[in-house]
Amino acid sequence: MIAHTTLHVSDYTKSKAFYVQALAPLGYQNNMEYGEAAGFNDGKNTDFWIESEDTVVPTHLAFEAHSRKEVEEFYKAALNAGATDNGGPGYRDYWPGYYAAFVYDPDGHNIEAVWYDYEKVS
């Protein structure tokens, strides 16, 4: 099991404000900080971090939501925080019941919220 993940960001202050707002609907709060690194806790673990770096290589990271509504709220909050749309909330063809939304954060990281609708899995 992965203990935590860190994304490198080019503008720490801007990215921290973005993730505070975008991840709130998923139950995440900024609970740790040292220098230009911030940790986010989902109520159990501080498993997501951002850290200021000169070189940023965009990546894809998915957060599991607890409901369809959380996916939709994440998407709205992320756009309001300055994200760029990369696929609004909806079912995907990846497999039955895969409901997700995608945005690009300020550094171009592809950030996803996904909920698994097990009622659609046959």
Which residues does 51 contact at the CB level (< 8 Å), separation at least 6? 6, 7, 8, 9, 12, 36, 37, 38
In the prediction, which pLDDT does 114 show?
A: 98
CA distance 80 to 78: 5
pLDDT at 119: 84
Note the pLDDT of residue 72: 99
pLDDT along the chain (122 residues), means of 10: 93 98 97 96 94 97 97 99 98 94 98 93 70
Tell me, what's the pLDDT at 53?
97
User: Which CATH number characterizes residue 38's domain?
Assistant: 3.10.180.10
Domain of residue 111: give its range: 5-51+60-120
What is the count of structural domains for the chain?
Answer: 1
Model pLDDT, residue 32: 96
